[in-house]
Copies of this chain bind each other. A is one copy, B any other.
Amino acid sequence: MIPVSLKDLAKELNLSVSTVSKALNDCYDISAETKRKAFALAAKMNYHPNPYATGLRKQNSKTIAVIIPEIANHFFSLAINGIESVAKDRGYHFLIYLTHEDYQKEIEITKHFQNGRVDGLLLSLSSETSNVAHIEELLSRGVKIVSFDRVSEKILTSRVNTNDFQSSYLATEHLIERGCRNIAFLSNSKNLSTNNNRMKGYIQALARHQLPVEDHLVFECTNDNDHNYQLISDILQRKNRPDGIFASVEKIAMTTYHVCHDLGIDIPKDIKILSFSNLEIASFLNPSLTTITQPAFEIGQEAASILFNLLEAKKNNSQILNKTLNSKLIIRNSTN
């Protein structure tokens, strides 16, 4: 690294460092001529200020952290696209951290933000997280946080998420209208706000249509695919097999699909599958899956905007916003 610093420019221009600094920052009290020369030389020598020196002085870093459970998941990668689109416009950079759905890792990661590394944080909780003391600690230090998708009631931050309840209600209703009377819900993790809202939508739709809400139709899947496979396999081999499956996330829907394939169960004739999914091609490759697609990109954008506004607020305006964006129900195969 052969950096060119303000000092180098100053020497070349026979000016003081501070004058050059002010010139390049277009301060009102610097002559037009000096500014011209400063900019010209800066361009010529390809000068770019050291962001960390500036940050140290200004007590900010113009960078944020994005903490997510995983990245090889279309929801989160699309959300990052949204975050990127607004970060770029507003002059912010972002660091990515992955918890891999692990509470301990989330805590470890959290420690990096105790001292100025980032101005703020975009956070989506791991499915293993129920205790949120590590987040509250950051908040008490004055770190600005906006939660998205996987939020917690206990964390007092602005939140951006999907209409999980409502879309689940509508989607479940859709299954009922297609004739399902015995719909199982494959839950993700009881710690997840998203999962719980989805389940509430499912339950309410059943209730609304006078269908029994049976405990034995709600199953808790885990992050262990083999376990899920076995569980679903058991469910589908019962005497009174469900005629509909609502999988709270895509991965579980895929496992269900897999099991059906292995057991020779015909989708959608024998069983109908409904799932949240942000992977366009999923519903396309297999038109018998009905999917709920979240506005992932917009969620990322919205969360980032709120955070940047918070960071740049003149007053310590800590108003908590709750934004809910609508998801779309995608039905490719409504016949039979």
Q: What residues make up the interface of A, taking CB atoms closer than 8 Å to B? A: 1-4, 46-53, 55-56, 59, 61, 63, 70-74, 77-78, 80-81, 84, 93-98, 111-112, 114-117, 137, 141-143, 254, 257-258, 279, 281-282, 284-286
A115 contact from B49, B59, B77, Cβ within 8 A: B49
B95 touches A63 (CB 8 A): yes
A56 touches B52 (CB 8 A): yes
> Given A52-B117, A115-B51, A142-B2 in contact, is the A284-B254 Cβ separation under 8 Å?
yes
Residues of B within 8 A of A70 (CB): 81
* 10 smallest beta-carbon distances between A and B, as pairs: A285-B285, A52-B52, A48-B114, A48-B115, A1-B142, A72-B77, A50-B116, A71-B77, A50-B115, A285-B286
Quote the shortest CB–CB distance from A320 to chain B (angstroms).
Answer: 19
A81 contact from B71, B114, B279, Cβ within 8 A: B71
A116 contact from B52, B61, B73, B285, Cβ within 8 A: B52
**Bound-complex Cα distance A33 to B51 (A):** 38
A111 touches B48 (CB 8 A): yes
Quote the shortest CB–CB distance from A21 to chain B (angstroms).
Answer: 14
A59 touches B1 (CB 8 A): yes
Q: Closest B-chain residue to A144, C-beta based?
A: B1
Quote the shortest CB–CB distance from A20 to chain B (angstroms).
Answer: 15
Most buried by B among A3, A143, A281: A281
B72 touches A84 (CB 8 A): no
**Bound-complex Cα distance A70 to B77 (A):** 9
Residues of B within 8 A of A3 (CB): 114-116, 141
